[in-house]
Chain A
Amino acid sequence: MFRKRLASWLLVMVMAVLSACSAEATNSSENSLVIYSGRSESLVAPIIEEFSLATGISVEVRYGSTSEIAATLLEEGANSPADIFFAQDPGGLGAVANEGLLVALPDEILSMVDERFVSPQNLWVGVSGRARVVAYNTDTLNPSDLPTDMWGFTEPEWRGRIGLPPTNGSFQTMVTAMRQLWGEELTRDWLLGIMANEPVFYEKNTPTVAAVAAGEVEVGFVNHYYLHRFLTEEGENFSARNFYLSSSGPGSLVMVAGAGRLATSENEANALAFLEFLLSNQAQQYFAVETFEYPLREGISLASDLTPLFDIDIPSISLGQLSDIRATVALLQEVGMLP
C-alpha cells in the first residue's frame, strides 16, 4: 500500500510537471499559433486545420462567444497567450482594438480586400461577410406574412413567436447598428417592444434556426448562412428559409467576420501567415462554398443559392461605427435581454 502510494505521488508530480511544461512548450515553440476564436468550432475548425496542414504550424484554438473572448482578452491583458483574435463580428474586435490590444497590420494583408472591410486604424481585417436575415418557419408562414422592417416584430401579433440569441456577437452588432442609425431612445424602445412579445432566448444562432424549423418559434433573428448548412444536411424539406428585410434598416445589415493580431503576441510571422491564409483563395473559397458566407476577395464566386450582395438593401454604416459593443451590452442588460 505504501509503495502504491509512493508511486502515485511520483506519478502525479511527474504528470503535473509534464503538463505544465507542455503548456509552456507549445506557447513558445517556433511552429505554433494560439487563436482565440469567437466563431464557432463547427464552422471554422476545418479551415484552421487546412492552415495547419498547409504550413506545418501547430495551432491551438480556444472557442467561445465573441464577447466572452473579447472580455477574456481584456482580462488577460499583457499576460494573454493569444496570437490571433478571430471574431464573428466587428463589435468584439472594436472593443479589443479600443483598448490598444491589437497591432496594426501590414499593407500586403490589408490590400487583399476592399478598404471598406478594413478597420479604421488598420488594426483588423474582414475575412467574410454575412447578412442579417429573419429565418422563418415555412410550414406556418409565407414571406408575405412578414413585416418589411424590424419594427414590425414589435407588434402584438408576434407574441411568443420570436426567437433570438442575445449573447451572440452578430445580434449584438445589429443592435449596435440600431443605436447608430436610430439613436439610443428608439433602440431602447425597439428592444422593449421585442421583450414585450416574450421572445425565446437561445445560446447561439444554430439552435435558433433549428427551433424555427421545428416550430418551437416561428421567426428568428440570425445570420444568413446558418440556414444553408441545415439545407445541406437535412435537405430541401427543412422547414425554414431566410427572409431579407427590404427597408435598408439595421435588419439588413451586412457585417464582416474579421481577425486581428494581438500586440502581446510573439509569433508575428505565424500570425501574419494565418491572416494571409484566411484571405487566400483557398480559404475564401471555403467560406463561400462550405459555410455559405460572402467572400470578401474579388473574383470568388458565391454559393449558388445565395442572394447576391447587391440585391440586399444594405444600410450605410462603416465598420468603425460598429465597434462600441460595451454600451450595447449595457443596454441589453438594462432591458433585461441579458441578465
Chain B
Amino acid sequence: MPKPSPRAFLFLWLPSLFAAFAVLLPIVYLLIRAFSDGLSPWAVIFSSQTLAVLGRTLWLGLWVTLASIAIALPIAWLTVRTDLPLRPLWTILTPLPLVIPSYVGAYLFASALGPRGLLQALLEEPFGITRLPDIYGFPGAMLVLTLLNYPFVLLSLRSAMHRMDPALEEASRSLGENQWRTFWRVIFPQLRPAIASGGLLVLLYVLRDFGAVSIMRYDTFTRVIYIQYQNSFDRISAAALAILLVVLSLSVLIAEYRARGRARLDRNPRATRLPKIIQLGKWRWPSLLFCASVVSLALLLPASILSYWLLRGQAVAEGIASWFPALYNSLFAAGIAAGITVMAAIPVVILDVRRPSWLSRLIERSTYLGFALPGIVIALALVFFGANLTPYLYQTLPMLLFAYMILFLPESVGSLRSSLLQVHPSLEEAASSLGKKPGEVLRRITFPLVRPGLAGGAALVFLTAMKELPATLLLAPTGFKTLSTSIWAAVSEAFFAQAAAPALLIIVASSVPLAILLHRERRER
C-alpha cells in the first residue's frame, strides 16, 4: 500500500481510524470490566440461568424471524406481481409499521390486550369475559416484534422481486411447469438470499430489542442485563452477559453479511421486460383479507388504541405542548446524530471504495460492529468508561451522541457505500483528466451523485435515533428528556394515558424520514 498523501491522511485515514476505534471501544472496555475481578464472569456465562436466558432469547428470535418471513413473502408477492385490488395502497401501508418504536407497540398492545385490559373491558359486558389469556411473556413479545419488524423482510423481498428477470419464469413455463410449480422451482430459489438477508436482520433486531421485551416481561438478554444493571452492585454479571450477547449478535451479523454477498452474486442483468402481472382470480378475496388483516393488526389497532389513550389523556391533560421540550430534545439529538454519523461514514466509505486495501476493508468491516452491539451494551460500556475514565464527558450530551454514532454508523456506511459503488470511477477520472483537483472532483462530480445515498443514510439514522431507548435511558444527561425516555417513564408507572402524546409525537416525527426512504426505494425501481 503506497504511503498516503498528507491530505489523504488528515481527511480520510484519521477520521476513519477514529470511527473504527470508537466502535471497538465499548467491547474492549466491557471485556476489561468483566474480567477485572478475576474469572467470575465465566461462572456467570456458564450458569444455568444464563443458559435459560440464552434459550429464551434464541427461541423468541427464531419464531419472530419465521413469522416475519411468513407474513412478508405473501405480501411482497401480492403487491409486486399480482393484480391485487388497491395495490398502491397496500404498497405504501405494509412497510409503515417501521415508524412505531417497539416499546410503543408493546405498551399499546399490553394496555389493550392485557388480561384485564381494554379489550377485556369491552368484552366483559356482552360476553361475560372476566379475563383474557395472558399476553405477557412470549406471546406478547412475539406478536409485537413480528408485527413491527416484518417490514425488514418485506422491503428486502420487494427489491429482489423487482430485479428478477421475467425470462426465467417464461423459460420455466415453456418447459412445462405451471404457475405454482414455477414459483417453487424457479422464483423462490432466487428469493432465498433476500429472505435470508431480511430474516437475519429481523433476528438482529430481536436480539437488540429492549423496550418491547421489557414491557412484555419476557426475559431476554437485554432485559436481564438492564435489571442486573439496576440491581446488582458489582455489575460484573451484567458485563459478562453483555459480552455473551455481543458474541451472539456478531455471529448473526456475519451470517447476514454472507447472505447479502450471495444475493449480489445471483443478481441478474437488468430485465428488459416488465414482469407479467399475475391474475389472482378466485384468490382475490383471500389475498385482500390477508393484507387487510396484517395492516389492521400492525397499524390500525395500535392507531386506535393510541387514539383512545390520547382522548383519555385529554382529561388529565397538560396538553401536547408540555411535550415540546422532549420533542425538541429528541429531534435535536437525532438530527445531530444523523449529521455526525454521515460525516463519519464519508471517509470510511471513500477509503474502502476508491482506495481499497486490507486496512480500509478492516475499518469498514469494524464499523458494522455497531449492528452487533445492542444499545444497552454500548450504554453500559460507556457508563463504565465514562464514570471511571472520562468523568468530564460522563452524562454529557456528546457521550450520548457518541453512543448514537457507534450504534448507527453501519446504517450510513451501508447506504453511502452502495451509492458510491454505482458511481463509476471513470467519471471521476474524466473530471481529473479535464484538469480538476481532487477536492473539486469530489465536490462537483462525486457528491451530487452520491447525494441520494447520503440523504438515505441520514434519514435512516435519524429514524432509528429518534426511536432509540436503552442507550438514551442510561446515557442521557441528567434532566435531558427525550420522547423515548418520557414514554418509558410513563409506561413503567402504568400511566398509559400519559404515554400517548409523546408516542404520537414520536410516530409523526419518524414518518418523515421513513417517507424519504420509501420514496427513494420507489425511485430506484
How many angstroms between the C-alpha atoms of A190 and B307 in the bound complex?
44
Q: Given A339-B227, A339-B228, is A12 in contact with B339 using a C-beta cutoff of 8 Å? A: yes
How many angstroms between the C-alpha atoms of A80 and B394 in the bound complex?
9
Is there a chain A Cβ closer than 8 Å to B336's Cβ?
A: yes
B336 near A15 with CB under 8 A, answer: yes
Say which residue of A67, A81, A326 sits within 8 Å of B395 (CB atoms). Answer: A81
Least Cβ–Cβ distance between B457 and chain A, in angstroms: 14
Q: From B80-88, B202-210, B385-393, give the one contacting chain A.
A: B385-393
How many residues of B are counted as interface, with CB atoms below 8 angstroms from the partner's CB atoms? 51
A16 near B229 with CB under 8 A, answer: no
Is there a chain B Cβ closer than 8 Å to A290's Cβ?
A: no
Least Cβ–Cβ distance between B323 and chain A, in angstroms: 15
How many angstroms between the C-alpha atoms of A79 and B390 in the bound complex?
9
Is there a chain B Cβ closer than 8 Å to A315's Cβ?
A: no
Interface positions, chain B 207-246, Cβ under 8 Å from A, are 217, 219, 223-224, 227-233, 235
B228 surroundings in chain A (CB, below 8 A): 338-339
Is there a chain B Cβ closer than 8 Å to A210's Cβ?
A: yes
**Nearest chain B residue, comparing its CB with the CB of A207:** B494
How many angstroms between the C-alpha atoms of A68 and B232 in the bound complex?
8
Is there a chain A Cβ closer than 8 Å to B276's Cβ?
A: no
A8 near B233 with CB under 8 A, answer: no
A338 near B397 with CB under 8 A, answer: no
Q: From A19-27, A125-133, A151-159, give the one contacting chain B.
A: A19-27
A12 surroundings in chain B (CB, below 8 A): 336, 339-340, 343
B53 surroundings in chain A (CB, below 8 A): 339
How many angstroms between the C-alpha atoms of A75 and B232 in the bound complex?
11
**Nearest chain B residue, comparing its CB with the CB of A9:** B343
Interface positions, chain B 101-145, Cβ under 8 Å from A, are 114-117, 130-131, 136
A339 near B339 with CB under 8 A, answer: no
B49 near A339 with CB under 8 A, answer: yes
B316 surroundings in chain A (CB, below 8 A): 233
Is there a chain A Cβ closer than 8 Å to B448's Cβ?
A: yes
Least Cβ–Cβ distance between A22 and chain B, in angstroms: 8
B477 surroundings in chain A (CB, below 8 A): 19, 23
Say which residue of A16, A40, A81 sits within 8 Å of B493 (CB atoms). Answer: A40
Is there a chain B Cβ closer than 8 Å to A186's Cβ?
A: no
How many angstroms between the C-alpha atoms of A137 and B240 in the bound complex?
41
A326 surroundings in chain B (CB, below 8 A): 233
Least Cβ–Cβ distance between B406 and chain A, in angstroms: 16
A201 near B217 with CB under 8 A, answer: yes
B392 surroundings in chain A (CB, below 8 A): 20, 24
Residue-wise, chain A 105-120 has the 8 Å CB interface mask toward B (1 for contact) of: 0000000000000000
Is there a chain B Cβ closer than 8 Å to A333's Cβ?
A: yes
A214 surroundings in chain B (CB, below 8 A): 114, 116-117
Is there a chain A Cβ closer than 8 Å to B384's Cβ?
A: yes
Q: Which of B233, B391, B396, B447 has the most CB of A within 10 A?
A: B233
Is there a chain A Cβ closer than 8 Å to B478's Cβ?
A: yes
A8 surroundings in chain B (CB, below 8 A): 339, 343
How many angstroms between the C-alpha atoms of A63 and B383 in the bound complex?
16
B229 surroundings in chain A (CB, below 8 A): 68, 71
A54 surroundings in chain B (CB, below 8 A): none
**Nearest chain A residue, comparing its CB with the CB of B316:** A233
B443 near A210 with CB under 8 A, answer: no
Say which residue of B130, B136, B443 sits within 8 Å of A215 (CB atoms). Answer: B130
Chain A to chain B: the 9 pairs with minimum beta-carbon distance, closest first: A207-B494, A79-B391, A19-B397, A68-B230, A214-B116, A62-B478, A23-B396, A339-B224, A203-B492
30 contacts between A and B (CB under 8 A): A1-B447, A12-B343, A16-B398, A20-B396, A20-B397, A20-B398, A41-B489, A62-B395, A62-B479, A63-B489, A65-B230, A68-B229, A71-B232, A71-B233, A75-B383, A77-B387, A79-B391, A80-B387, A95-B233, A167-B231, A200-B136, A211-B116, A214-B116, A214-B117, A215-B116, A216-B115, A216-B116, A329-B233, A332-B231, A338-B228
Question: Which residues of chain B have a CB within 8 Å of any CB of chain A?
Answer: 49, 53, 114-117, 130-131, 136, 217, 219, 223-224, 227-233, 235, 316, 336, 339-340, 343, 383-384, 387-388, 391-398, 401, 443, 447-448, 451, 477-479, 489, 492-495
Other A-B pairs, 19, CB within 8 Å; known A216-B115, A338-B227? A2-B443, A15-B336, A24-B392, A62-B395, A62-B478, A71-B231, A71-B232, A71-B233, A72-B387, A75-B384, A76-B394, A81-B395, A81-B478, A204-B493, A214-B116, A215-B130, A329-B231, A338-B232, A339-B227
